[in-house]
Amino acid sequence: MQFDSLKSEIIQIINKPDADVLPKMQAICDVLQANISYYDWVGFYMAHATEPTLHLWSQAGEPTDHTVIPFGKGICGQVAVSNKNFVVDDVHAQDNYIACSIHVKSEVVIPLFKDGKNIGQIDIDSNTAKAFTASDERFLEWVNEQVATIL
């Protein structure tokens, strides 16, 4: 399975001694977007320390204007409030969806926890409808666990 083969590559990125956090997070975005065919956009949004907003730290795929997202707005903003995974099979059926690209059909957002606190999330957009499965959720939870170790 492609997820298992990517785990060792992600561990290598996490354990790279000469790289800072942001380049490591960027490398993870790049690896996921390049190696999983239906991961068309991959990004990490991190919670601001004092304001209820998410800030884009790294991303792979088309550039986005959505670099700051208020808690509660869009799928990412909802995950910041709910602390739960959110899988959207059809983004056009979501009332609170923030459109980043006309090509996006589905999205998955997985919260990133550090010491039990939701400090951010990984956000994946796909140009394929119903692209994400429970296997994607488990894999992305694992990715976030690895990222949490360097934050």
User: Structure tokens of 142?
Assistant: 């694992």
Radius of gyration of the chain measured on its C-alpha atoms = 14
Per-residue pLDDT of the chain (151 residues; tens, 9 = 90+): 589 999 999 999 999 998 899 999 999 999 999 999 999 999 999 999 999 999 999 999 999 989 999 999 999 999 999 999 999 998 777 766 666 667 889 999 999 999 999 999 999 999 999 999 999 999 999 999 999 999 9
Domain topology for 2-148 = Beta-Lactamase (3.30.450)
pTM (two decimals): 0.94
Cβ proximity of 76 and 56 under 8 Å: no
Task: List alpha helices for 56-149, DSSP H.
Answer: 74-82, 134-148
Which of 21, 60, 65, 31 has its CA nearest to residue 43?
60
